[in-house]
Amino acid sequence: MAAIGSAVGLGNIWRFPYVAYKNGGGAFLIPYFVALFTVGIPLLIAEYSVGSMFRKSAPMAMRSIHRKVEWVGWWGVFSAFLIAIYYSVLMAWCLCYLFHSFGLVWQPDASSFFFNDFLKAGTSLSLGGGINMQIVFALLAIWTSIYLILYKGVKSIGKVVAITVPLPTILLLILTVRGLTLPGASMGLEFYLAPDFSKLSMPSVWLAAYAQIFFSLSLAQGIMIVYASFLKKGSDINNNAFITALADGGTAFLAGFAVFAVLGYLAYQTGMPMEEVAGGGIGLAFITYPTAIAKMPILASFFGVIFFMALLTFGIDSAFSMVEAITNGMKDKFGVSREKITLIICIMGFLLGLLLVPGSGIHWIEIMDHFVSNFALVFIGLLECLVFGYVLGGERIRKYANDVSDIRVGRWFSIMLKLFAPIVLISIAAASLVELMVNGYGNYPSWSILLAGMIVAASFITAIVFARLKCREEQ
Ligand code: PHE
C-alpha cells in the first residue's frame, strides 16, 4: 500500500496529463505503455527483490551487491531529495488552492491570478519577484506533516497510507464522472485518445515516456528498495510489482479522463480549439483546470475542493517516500537516529524549497523537473539495470523473485534488464541530449540549463563522496 502511495501522486494527475499533452496526446499512450512493460515492471521487480534480499536501504543494498557501486544508490536518493524540494512546493500550491476553491478566487482570469496574484511571478529567471507568504506557510505545513508522519517509522506510515491511498482514488472517480457528464467532454477525450502517430518518430517523446515511468513508479531513487526492505521474508514480489505498476498506470490513465473531459468542456464553453485551451506546462492543474471548474454549472467550489484534496492526498505519500529513501540511507550507513535525521532533512527540504517560492520559482520547477526526471532518473535507471543485470545477475534476481511469487516471470525479465532496457535508455538519452544541444529547452536561456545540469552533477559528485565515507562499522 505504501509503495502504491509512493507511486501514485502528483505525477499521475498533474504530470501525466501535461506530459501526454505536450507529447502528442493519445500518441503518448503507446510509448508510455511500452515503457511500463519493458522497463517499469522489470525494474520494479528488481528493486523489490534487491530490497527484500538485502533488507537495507538503497545505498547499503548497492554496497552489498558490490562496494564499488554504492554511489549509484546515493545518487538515486539524492535525486529523490531534489525532487522532494520542488514536489513539496507544488503541494504547497495545492494546499493554497484548496482554500481558494471555496471562493473560486481565481476568477475571472485564472492565468493572471496564478502568475500575478498568487505566484507574484515576473518573467525573469533570477531570484526575486514577490513572495507570497501564504505559500511559505503552506510549505511549512507540508514539511511539518511529512516530519510528523515519518519520525515514528513504518507503523505510522501504514496508518496514513490506509487513508491517503483509497480516499483520493474515490475523489478522482467523482471528478471523472462529473467530467464525463459535462457537454464537450467527448471533444476532450478525442484529443486525449486519438493518436498523432507522427510524434512517435521523435526521440524526445520516447524519452518523456520512459522518464514519466521512472518518475511515476518512483523508480531509480531507492524508494522501492527501502520499502521492500521492510517486507516480511517470503512476501510475494512479482505480484506486488504488477499491482503497483498497474495501479499506477491505471490511475494515470483515469486521471487523463478526468482532466481531458474537463478540458473538452472548457473548449466547448469558450469556443476555442482543444490545442489552445490547455497551455500545456505545469500550469495545467493551476490555470486550465480551475478555469474549467469555475465554469461548472453546479457545485463548482465543491469540485475545486475535491480536485485539490485529491492532489494533496495523492501527493503526500509520494513526498514522504522520497524523504524515507534518504533518511534510511543515512541511518543505515552512519547509524544516526531516525528522528534526528528526519528532522534535519525536513528542515533542509523546507529551506531549499523557499528558494522556489518567489515569483521565478515556477520556471525553476519546470527546469528541475525536466532535468532531474529526464536525465538523472533515466541515467540512474540505466545504471541500476546494469548493476542488477550484470553484477548481481538478472537470472539470480528472477529466481529469487519467482521462488516467493505466485506469478512467475520468464526469461524475458533478464533480457529486458540486461539488454533491452540499457540499449533503449542509452539511445533515447543520447538522442535527446543531441536534441537539447541543437534546440535548447523551451524558451529557457542556456545559462539556466547549464545551472540545472550543474545541480544534477552536484548530486552525482555528492553521491560519490558519500560512498567513499566510512560507514558505522568501520569507524
Ligand atoms: N511517483 C510519484 C508521483 O507520481 C512521484 C515520486 C517521484 C515519488 C520520485 C517518489 C520519488 O507523483
Say what the pLDDT of residue 128 is.
Answer: 58
For ligand 1, say whether the CB of 76 is within 6 Å of any of its atoms. Answer: no
11 C-alpha to ligand 1 centroid (Å): 6
Q: Residue 259 maps to which CATH number?
A: 1.20.1740.10
Say what the pLDDT of residue 279 is.
Answer: 60
**Is the pLDDT score of 302 beyond 80?**
yes
For ligand 1, say whether the CB of 10 is within 6 Å of any of its atoms. Answer: yes
Percent of the chain, pLDDT > 70?
97
**Is the pLDDT score of 54 beyond 80?**
yes
Specify the range with the lowest mean pLDDT, choosing from 93-107, 203-217, 450-464.
203-217
For ligand 1, say whether the CB of 322 is within 6 Å of any of its atoms. Answer: yes
Structure-block grid coordinates of residue 140:
511549512
Distance CA 301, CA 77 (A): 38
Say what the pLDDT of residue 107 is.
Answer: 86
Which class for 153: exposed (0-12), middle (13-18), buried (19 or more C-beta within 10 A)?
Answer: middle
Mind listing the pLDDT tens digit for each residue in 216-263? 998 899 999 999 999 888 889 999 999 999 999 999 999 989 888 988
For ligand 1, say whether the CB of 78 is within 6 Å of any of its atoms. Answer: no
Beta bridge partners of 195: 25
Mind listing the pLDDT tens digit for each residue in 347-366? 999 999 999 998 788 888 88
Which class for 297: exposed (0-12), middle (13-18), buried (19 or more C-beta within 10 A)?
Answer: exposed
Identify which has the larger pLDDT, 346 or 23: 346
For ligand 1, say whether the CB of 9 is within 6 Å of any of its atoms. Answer: yes
426 C-alpha to ligand 1 centroid (Å): 22
Specify the range with the lowest mean pLDDT, choosing from 25-39, 167-181, 216-230, 425-439.
425-439
- Of 3, 16, 6, 1, nearest to 258 by C-alpha is 16
3-state secondary structure the chain: CHHHHHHCCHHHHHHHHHHHHHCCEHHHHHHHHHHHHHHHHHHHHHHHHHHHHHCCCHHHHHHHHCHHHHHHHHHHHHHHHHHHHHHHHHHHHHHHHHHHHHHCCCCCCHHHHHHHHHCCCCCCCCCCCCCCHHHHHHHHHHHHHHHHHHCCCHHHHHHHHHHHCHHHHHHHHHHHHHHHCCCCHHHHHHHHHCECHHHHHCHHHHHHHHHHHHHHCCCCCCHHHHHHHCCCCCCCCHHHHHHHHHHHHHHHHHHHHHHHHHHHHHHHHHCCCHHHHCCCCHHHHCCHHHHHHHCCCCCHHHHHHHHHHHHHHHHHHHHHHHHHHHHHHHHHHHCCCHHHHHHHHHHHHHHHHHCCCCCCHHHHHHHHHHHHHHHHHHHHHHHHHHHHHHHHHHHHHHHHHHHHCCCCCCCHHHHHHHHHHHHHHHHHHHHHHHHHHHHCCCCCCHHHHHHHHHHHHHHHHHHHHHHHCCCHHHC
Mutate to test the pocket of ligand 1, among 318, 370, 372 (most ligand atoms within 8 A of CB): 318
Contacts of 51 (CB under 8 A, 6+ apart): 58, 61, 224, 225, 226, 227, 228, 229, 231
Identify which has the larger pLDDT, 154 or 213: 213
Say what the pLDDT of residue 201 is.
Answer: 84
Mind listing the pLDDT tens digit for each residue in 72-96? 999 999 999 999 999 999 999 999 9
Number of domains in the chain: 1
Structure-block grid coordinates of residue 342:
528526519
Say what the pLDDT of residue 158 is.
Answer: 83
Identify which has the larger pLDDT, 465 or 378: 465
For ligand 1, say whether the CB of 205 is within 6 Å of any of its atoms. Answer: no
| CB crowding 66-91: b at 16 or more within 10 Å, else e | eeebbbbbbbbbbbbbbbbbbbbbbb
Which amino acid makes up residue 155?
Answer: K
For ligand 1, say whether the CB of 84 is within 6 Å of any of its atoms. Answer: no
220 C-alpha to ligand 1 centroid (Å): 11
252 C-alpha to ligand 1 centroid (Å): 12
Which range of residues forms the domain containing residue 318?
Answer: 2-474
For ligand 1, say whether the CB of 25 is within 6 Å of any of its atoms. Answer: no
189 C-alpha to ligand 1 centroid (Å): 25
Contacts of 44 (CB under 8 A, 6+ apart): 217, 219, 224, 241, 244, 245
**Is the pLDDT score of 442 beyond 80?**
no
Mind listing the pLDDT tens digit for each residue in 361-396? 888 888 888 888 778 888 999 999 999 999 999 999
Rounded (5°) CA angle 350-11-85: 15
Contacts of 422 (CB under 8 A, 6+ apart): 382, 385, 386, 389
Say what the pLDDT of residue 370 is.
Answer: 84
Side-chain half-sphere exposure of 53, counting CA atoms within 13 A = 24
**Is the pLDDT score of 8 beyond 70?**
yes
What mean pLDDT is predicted for residues 35-45? 93
Distance CA 172, CA 118 (A): 25
Peptide bond into 166 cis (omega under 30): no
Is the pTM higher than 0.85?
A: yes
214 C-alpha to ligand 1 centroid (Å): 8
314 C-alpha to ligand 1 centroid (Å): 10
Nearest CA to ligand 1 atom 9: 218
Structure-block grid coordinates of residue 466:
558519500
